[in-house]
Structure 1
Amino acid sequence: MSLKHVSVLLLLLQLSACFTSGSCGKVLVWPMEYSHWMNLNVILEELVRRGHEVIVLNHNASIFVDSGKTTAIKFETFPIDITKNDLDMFFIQLVDMWTNALQDSYWEYLLALQKIFSEYSNTCKDLCKAAVLNKKLMTKLQESKFDILLSDPISPCGRPVTLYELVAKADMWLIRSYWDLEFPRPTLPNVHFVGGLHCKPAKPLPKDMEDFVQSSGEEGVVVFSLGSMVSKMTEERANVIASALAQLPQKVLWRFDGKKPETLGPNTQMYNWIPQNDLLGHPKTRAFVTHGGANGVYEAIHHGIPMVGLPLFGDQPDNIAYMTAKGAAVRLNWKTMSSADLLNALKTVIHDPSYKENVMMLSRIHHDQPMKPLDTAVFWIEHVMRHKGAKHLRVAAHDLTWYQYHSLDVIGFLLACVTIPTYLVIKICLFVYQKLVKTEKKKKRD
């Protein structure tokens, strides 16, 4: 399973909900950081708008989950030993190691990845321990009397649980993807696709940004962003990119807060932050250079913008591979691409009409759904709440032992059914043969 699915499918695994005697329920949320929180927050705001009570379990070092923000969402904040700056630096170092470390061999790369995931796993475990061992917090949550627990970090009998056991408890899976991005494959009844739930119609740009976009004339603009987790890069990579962008006839809006590259052209403006969805929905946008994060890819599909993909880590190579296979993107290697490679890739997706046609086809598929992705997500959350679970949709395979799941008990029984009769037949044949041989020998002696 890709990281995209591990992180995205946990939308409902992160939720604990109950349905009260009225028409509204109470939802307890264990959030994740960065783009995962962005998507989850969209769902939570819609639940609040529909009258549900939403409580987010948050620690005091959270990077993206802002409990001080004015919102109808309630927060239960618990203390942890590390600071927000410590956690932020950890993620920066994690991404930097993943994207910029040059391994000499495949095995060294695997060892580096193992180290990354080990450190991340330890951090997650520490966060969970801080919440679970907080007696005051646990007592308060228990007194809330949740009727349906869709996320159970502590097993009923008090023993440690494996990731598989924890995941198997989920009543419903909401996947941050859809068939415009994915290839067809079988899914279970409690799996539903809600990719692009955060996408919205484009809003007007800030005046200075709109003036810059309009100054592009008929050539239009290119939007460049590597997401919220990658805002800086080495000077060498920055100059490679800036040199390519400077040779474009289009104007470029580049989200980048590092040192200004020496090769930066007058056609390129750098921003610490850009309204990405609004820019991709602007009629003058011609192409999108992206790291391949699910949110950015879906905004590009939503608005029908061809892409140049520079995948860095996680689910990003997977997303760009899908878009490349469907003729909506050109993929480049972040570490080895030259200025000429980036320039040619941008010229290709801008001037080859097939890329625009293909991404528009995907956009039509994305928009042609019986319900909007956000409405689909909320419907299935409320479905679980109304029925106090979704056991009627949960596959029985989760209740099987490992040997039952792989049919080893059935295989063993069938082998026994074949082996035992075969053994008996052979023994009988040998016994008869031995008797006949002894009889023949006796006759010869007589």
Structure 2
Amino acid sequence: MQRLGFTFPEQTLEFIPLLRFKGPSMGFNQGVLLLLASTSLLTGSGVLAGKILVFPVDGSHWVNMNLLIQSLHSRGHEVTVVRTATSWYVKENAPHYRSLTVTLPGAISIEEEDFFVTFLVKMLAIHKEGASISGFVKFYWEMLGTLSNIHRQASLLAVEMFENKTLMQSIRNTQFDVVLLDPGLPVGVLVAHELKLPTVFNVRWITSGEGHFVVAPSPTSYVPTSGYAASDKMNFAQRVKNTFHYFLNTCIDRFIVCPHYDRLVDRYFGPDVKFYHLLQGADIWLMRVDFVFEFPRPTMPNIAYIGGFQSKPSKPLSSELEEFVQSSGEHGFILMSLGTLVNGLPIEITSEIAAAFSQIPQKVIWRHASAPPNNLGNNTLLVKWMPQNDLLAHPKIKAFVAHGGTNGIYESMYHGVPIVGIPLLFDQFENILRLEARGAAKSVDATKLTRENFMEAIQEVLQNPSYRNNMKRLSALHRDKPMHPLETALYWIEFVMRHKGAAHLRTESYKMP
């Protein structure tokens, strides 16, 4: 690789105390040499300043990808992000990346600001009908229709790119070193194959669910399947259900999702190339998983675990927030955030939550951007945005009421704050269950939430010290690593760039029918 430069990685300096200069006796040249030597020991003899093509997924996934991009930019890499003209989160102009904007016939559903809120409203209505056969069929009919439409829309991105010969030639002329992509929408896999470039996945979820199920052995006897909230200690009936969900996910992937991409592979690469083999053939999988949180399971040598890579030390609160927090006295405060999904909760549910909060001595900071709920107490502060990481690190925090999104889970675990979970969609049920199995969280069913059972869950987490103690134990395990997960992610991306792939770590089993 011709472009070779040296940069000082900001993340290394932030997370690992490299130097402590003592007094003026150390000369400038000595200091620089020591800094160079320390950085070399941590990151290798040099950092390749290369060119990276990125295919992100919009929404909350972009938060994770954007952090990686910022870190890669700070190390001297040139990053180009492929986005659509209707993208809501991925902005066209940013200081840390160049954008390549592709115009599609219509917007991809998940790029619409209120997509997940609208989807939540539909799902809550279906769940209220109960666990009947008709409710189950209705749930999957709605979900599968939405899923197929999303991947149909996303596949058009590849068509627009491949049919634009000028654009593809421009990309080839740029001479990218690697494609970094989120395989939740795996269009980048096809483009990487066309460009003959190595690929790195920033992954937790893939077309068939959790990423391990595509690349690693996944015995359903003790590995919970995506969409089935169970621990790794299943009885016989649970193992049967787990296996059923595994085959259900496989069928959904085979007949609902993959056909959209199979058609593109046949059209542009011919019958000898299989989309699923391209998907499985990534050089490195940056898995947003930590086995402190995840249940143990088989893995592969080309999977690097970066769970919690977004976690970081806190910054001071604003004077207004600090004053409110300090006013809580010995009782402390509770933090609540359901992200944008709170807008999808009926006001009768948010009003029950507010009523329960009004009866406790703790202060409450609640991220709530829509109309205020009824029964709001004087102890509750509604904010449209809050520095979640900084509040979770505050010594006066007592609990975190959350929907179970991965980012919030890892931030809470990093700072040792127990959770009262209100899971709403997708993997949130499984995330909260994993913490419940470790005694660090208590779950409440949103469709059955009342002020009484919500209050009961809060009081149990606040008054039973085992919840905080268990989360503190998870925090200690999560932090005890030889390298911060973000540094691990950056190392493996640069590893692929240095060696033009990592085929020696990839098992050939993915090519078997």
TM-score by length of 1: 0.81
Q: 1:121: which partner in 2?
A: 151
Q: 2:103: which partner in 1?
A: 79
Residues 333/290 of structure 1: CA separation in 2 closer, same or farther (3 Å cut): same
Q: 1:254: which partner in 2?
A: 366
SS in 1 for 2:113: helix
2:190 alignment partner, one of 123, 148, 153: 153
Q: Distance in 1 between matches of 2:107 and 2:299?
A: 41
Q: Distance in 2 between matches of 1:237 and 1:128?
A: 42
Which residue type is aligned with residue 355 of structure 1? Y
Q: Distance in 2 between matches of 1:168 and 1:84?
A: 24
Residues 335/20 of structure 1: CA separation in 2 closer, same or farther (3 Å cut): farther
Q: In the TM superposition, what whole-angstrom CA distance separates every residue of 1:344-401 from its partner, at most 9, and x where no partner exists?
A: 111111111100110000000111001001000001111111111000100110122x
Aligned residue runs from structure 1 range 388-403, under 5 A? 388-400=500-512, 402=513
Q: 2:228: which partner in 1?
A: none
Aligned residue runs from structure 1 range 173-212, under 5 A? 173-212=285-324
User: What's the C-alpha RMSD, in Å, of the aligned pairs?
Assistant: 2.1
Q: Does 1:31 align with 2:56?
A: yes
Aligned residue runs from structure 1 range 22-171, under 5 A? 22=4, 23-69=48-94, 71-82=95-106, 87-101=112-126, 102-103=128-129, 105-149=135-179, 151-154=188-191, 155-156=193-194, 158-159=269-270, 163-171=275-283
Residues 136/241 of structure 1: CA separation in 2 closer, same or farther (3 Å cut): farther
Residues 112/381 of structure 1: CA separation in 2 closer, same or farther (3 Å cut): same
SS in 2 for 1:152: helix
Q: Per-residue deviation at 1:84?
A: 9.3
Q: Distance in 1 between matches of 2:149 and 2:367?
A: 29
Which residue type is aligned with residue 498 of structure 2? R
Q: In the TM superposition, what whole-angstrom CA distance separates every residue of 1:119-157 from its partner, at most 9, and x where no partner exists?
A: 322232234433443433322112212354565314556
Q: 1:242: which partner in 2?
A: 354
Moved more, 264-273 or 371-380: 264-273
Would you say the 8 A contact 1:232–1:258 is kept in 2? no
Q: In the TM superposition, what whole-angstrom CA distance separates every residue of 1:173-229 from its partner, at most 9, and x where no partner exists?
A: 011110110121121000111011111111111222221111111111101111245
Q: 1:415: which partner in 2?
A: none
Paired residue total: 382
Would you say the 8 A contact 2:62–2:89 is kept in 1? yes
Moved more, 46-55 or 296-305: 46-55
Moved more, 28-37 or 354-363: 28-37
Q: Per-residue deviation at 1:169?
A: 2.4
Residues 319/97 of structure 1: CA separation in 2 closer, same or farther (3 Å cut): same
SS in 1 for 2:190: coil
- The percentage of aligned residue pairs carrying the same residue is 39
Q: 2:429: which partner in 1?
A: 317
Q: 1:421: which partner in 2?
A: none
Q: 1:425: which partner in 2?
A: none
Q: Per-residue deviation at 1:34?
A: 2.1
1:367 alignment partner, one of 454, 461, 479: 479
Q: Does 1:213 align with 2:325?
A: yes
Q: 1:412: which partner in 2?
A: none
Residues 105/231 of structure 1: CA separation in 2 closer, same or farther (3 Å cut): closer
In structure 2, stretches of 5+ residues that fail to align are: 5-47, 181-187, 195-267
Residues 91/352 of structure 1: CA separation in 2 closer, same or farther (3 Å cut): closer
Moved more, 249-258 or 122-131: 122-131
Q: In the TM superposition, what whole-angstrom CA distance separates every residue of 1:102-121 from its partner, at most 9, and x where no partner exists?
A: 44522222222222212322
Q: Per-residue deviation at 1:99?
A: 4.0
SS in 1 for 2:360: coil
Q: Distance in 1 between matches of 2:470 and 2:454?
A: 20
SS in 1 for 2:67: helix
2:391 alignment partner, one of 265, 272, 279: 279
Would you say the 8 A contact 1:221–1:285 is kept in 2? yes
Q: Distance in 2 between matches of 1:99 and 1:280?
A: 29
Q: Distance in 1 between matches of 2:340 and 2:67?
A: 17
SS in 2 for 1:223: strand
Q: Distance in 2 between matches of 1:176 and 1:96?
A: 28
Which residue type is aligned with residue 269 of structure 2? G
Would you say the 8 A contact 1:232–1:256 is kept in 2? no
Residues 84/163 of structure 1: CA separation in 2 closer, same or farther (3 Å cut): closer
Would you say the 8 A contact 2:281–2:506 is kept in 1? no
SS in 1 for 2:189: coil
Q: 2:202: which partner in 1?
A: none
Would you say the 8 A contact 2:117–2:343 is kept in 1? no
Q: Distance in 1 between matches of 2:444 and 2:316?
A: 31
Q: In the TM superposition, what whole-angstrom CA distance separates every residue of 1:49-108 from its partner, at most 9, and x where no partner exists?
A: 111111111122111112233x13221122233469982244432333234444452222
Q: Distance in 1 between matches of 2:364 and 2:179?
A: 48
Q: In the TM superposition, what whole-angstrom CA distance separates every residue of 1:315-358 from its partner, at most 9, and x where no partner exists?
A: 11111110000000001111112111111111111111100110
Larger Rg: 1
Which residue type is aligned with residue 257 of structure 1? A
Q: 1:433: which partner in 2?
A: none
Q: 1:307: which partner in 2?
A: 419
Would you say the 8 A contact 2:117–2:344 is kept in 1? no
